[in-house]
Amino acid sequence: MKEKNFYTLGIETSCDETAAAILRGDRELLSNIVYSQAEIHKKYGGVVPEVASRDHLRKIQFVINEALTEAGVHLPELDLIGVTQGPGLVGCLLVGLSTAKGISFGLEKPLIGVNHLEGHLFAHYIESGLEAPPPFVALIVSGGHTSLVHVREWGHYEVIGETRDDAAGEAFDKVGKLIGLGYPAGIEVDRLSKQGNRSAIAFPRPMLDEPGFDFSFAGLKTAILYHMREHPETSQADLAASFQEAVVDVLVEKTLRAADDLKIGRIVVVGGVAANSRLRERFQSSDSGVGVDVHFPSLNLCTDNAAMIAAVAHFHYASNPAHVLNGLQDLSPSSSLRL
Ligand code: KG4
Ligand code: ZN
């Protein structure tokens, strides 16, 4: 493979971001365009799948064109197309998949369906270079998932813990909504927490004292609801900060425990919630404390993007040609694809 000028187009439409990116070689990012539908879903207080898929259809071509233009790459120069196959909203995934199939068919270029969760892991791959390779323990914390993964090497993953109910991002969004913040509430909770007292309310730390690496966040939401009923005078900022501290405590503690158990000295935190400033601060301060080195992708690679999708596609293309399809082959959306 002529690494230098090998161009991969990544396409991501699994939820409410329409995204396209161009990668040169295995991880040189030439463009990374993300169009967020957040404004559209704001008035509904969450993502409406039907509305999301229609808007993907409206935007996808513009987003791809912008990615090509910014990269200075012409459509026929593409060598590979990678597209999110799942997990995600089926109608949304279909838009990305159909577009990718059309491009692959028209250009007669290979196509690879990508697992969105492996995508989040590859945000680290893009940025780490040779500096922080596997093995490591990955904490994937997004709107739809919370998993602890033993990454033995790129392409080989063992999920060692998962949430039993709500994902961490989902908890941020639901609690944010409960205390009166707009959608998407995760980032608002993060902002507001800076003005609050994180020890104001001692919310539970769910599953922290139980063995294993599973999580549960649904009960925390109920605890906050009860607290608000009993103490309506509590400020939004104190609620936000105390809730955030409870989630961060559990995530940090369980991840450090997993690294210790597996005798692995490196932790990588990815997914939308990895953008949380308190989570970053707490992990980074644990860094020196217990001798583990902790990595986070840059903020724009934590939340959904297509650069990570392109990187996974390139990796599988280079390491296992059996993954490669063409635009005529079956590539269906899989809403509950697992790592
Ligand atoms: O990875 P992502 O962009 O999409 C999914 O694959 O789900 O993650 C989105 C999630 C949302 O729940 C959002 O509220 C949360 O990440 N999020 C945050 C922050 N930024 C995004 N949660 C807490 N603090 C943040 N700064
Ligand atoms: Zn995601």
- Report the C-alpha gap between 143 and 260 in whole angstroms: 27
Domains and CATH numbers, the chain: 3-120+302-330 (3.30.420.40), 133-299 (3.30.420.40)
Q: Which ligand is nearest to the CA of 143?
A: 1
- Report the C-alpha gap between 127 and 266 in whole angstroms: 15
Indicate the SS3 state at residue 12.
strand
Residues 257-311: tens digit of each pLDDT: 999 999 999 999 999 999 999 999 999 887 556 679 999 999 999 999 999 999 9
- Report the C-alpha gap between 110 and 187 in whole angstroms: 37
What H or E segment, with its residue span, contains residue 268?
strand 266-270
Q: Which residues line ligand 1 (CB under 6 A)?
A: 15, 142-144, 169-170, 172-173, 184, 186-187, 190, 271-273, 275-276, 303-304
What burial letters (b/e) apply to 271-283, b meaning 16+ CB within 10 Å?
A: bbbbbbebbbebb
Tokens 């991880």, located at residue? 27
What residues flank ion ligand 2 with Cβ within 5 A? Answer: 142, 304
CA of 167 to the centre of ligand 1 (A): 10
**Atom 22 of ligand 1 has which residue's CA nearest to it?**
186
CA of 120 to the centre of ligand 2 (A): 6
Tokens at residue 34, please?
């993300």
- Residue pair 10/307 in contact (Cβ under 8 Å)? The answer is yes
**DSSP single-letter state for residue 206:** T
The residue type of 158 is: E
Indicate the SS3 state at residue 18.
strand
Q: What is the pLDDT of residue 1?
A: 47
Mutational pocket test of ligand 1: of 163, 187, 282, the residue with most ligand atoms within 8 Å of the beta carbon? 187
CA of 45 to the centre of ligand 1 (A): 15
Low-confidence ranges of the chain (pLDDT < 70): 1-4, 287-290
- Report the C-alpha gap between 212 and 258 in whole angstroms: 9
CA 19 from centroid of its chain's CA atoms: 13
CA of 206 to the centre of ligand 1 (A): 20
232: burial class by Cβ within 10 Å (0-12, 13-18, 19+)?
A: exposed
Residues 179-206: tens digit of each pLDDT: 999 888 999 999 999 999 999 999 999 9
CA 32 from centroid of its chain's CA atoms: 15
- Report the C-alpha gap between 310 and 93 in whole angstroms: 15
CA 234 from centroid of its chain's CA atoms: 32
CA of 226 to the centre of ligand 2 (A): 30
